Amino acid sequence: MKEIQKYAAGKLLYIPTGEEKRAWGATSGYRDQLQKRNRMIRNKYAHGLTVSEIADEYFLSLDSIKKIIYSKSNDKDLIYSPTLESAVHYANAGMIEEWVQCYFLLTRKTAPVVRDLMEGDSLYFGVVKFPLRLIQREECEVGENLASEGDDHVSAHPPLLIYYEEGKFVCTTQQELLASLKQRKINAYPTIIVLKGNAEYKRFMKYYGNIFIYVEKV
């Protein structure tokens, strides 16, 4: 200020912004974090958690949770459901990780798996048409029976979650779905690929990054 007074004391100055004005929280990413949190809160409420349970989990008041739940948000296409259609909507919005979290928390009720994914540096690739022959062969039991469903009903089922570890594709969390697909002799199925760490990501991209076809609509 003293330096400016040497040249413009008592004068009215106009100082331009040096860059375009940004929305609150855009630079720090805090706004995106709040949007993701609020979307998860709405998803949990839609899947049976009470306002009181959600308030306790997020350390917010009951009124704050109600405002988030009943707000007029513009993300109606991102209301979670355990279906391929929902997963594709999330993937197209660049939020495939959030869909995976919802799938484990709200559908499979496996919170430890989510914590493991969150604590690691997991990366997500998909939703893509994936040849099931590439999956490491393991013993699996038939559980979730899709044998009576036609191919036109695929969108009502979740995508397959495949882990890429040490250069191999493995299915560890949806053995029943994989067994049912093999029973129906399905060659390729919509899949989300989970990769652990940058080293696995680089190896995956080197050998497979350009060969899979994305599922962009259902």
Summarised one tens digit per residue, pLDDT across range 75-109 is: 666 889 999 999 999 999 888 989 998 999 899 88
* Mean pLDDT of the 162-191 span: 91
pLDDT above 90 for 110: no
| Banded model confidence at residue 129, pLDDT cuts 50, 70, 90 | very high
* Residue 87: partners with Cβ closer than 8 Å, 6 or more residues away: 96, 99, 103, 127, 158, 159, 190, 192
pLDDT above 80 for 62: yes
Contact of 126 with 191, CB cutoff 8 Å: yes
Greater confidence (161 vs 109) lies with 161
* Mean pLDDT of the 165-194 span: 91
* Mean pLDDT of the 6-29 span: 63
Contact of 134 with 169, CB cutoff 8 Å: yes
Contact of 41 with 54, CB cutoff 8 Å: yes
pLDDT at 150: 41
User: What average pLDDT does the structure give for the chain?
Assistant: 82
| Banded model confidence at residue 117, pLDDT cuts 50, 70, 90 | low
pLDDT at 118: 61
* Residue 161: partners with Cβ closer than 8 Å, 6 or more residues away: 100, 103, 171, 173, 174, 191, 192, 194
pLDDT above 60 for 73: yes
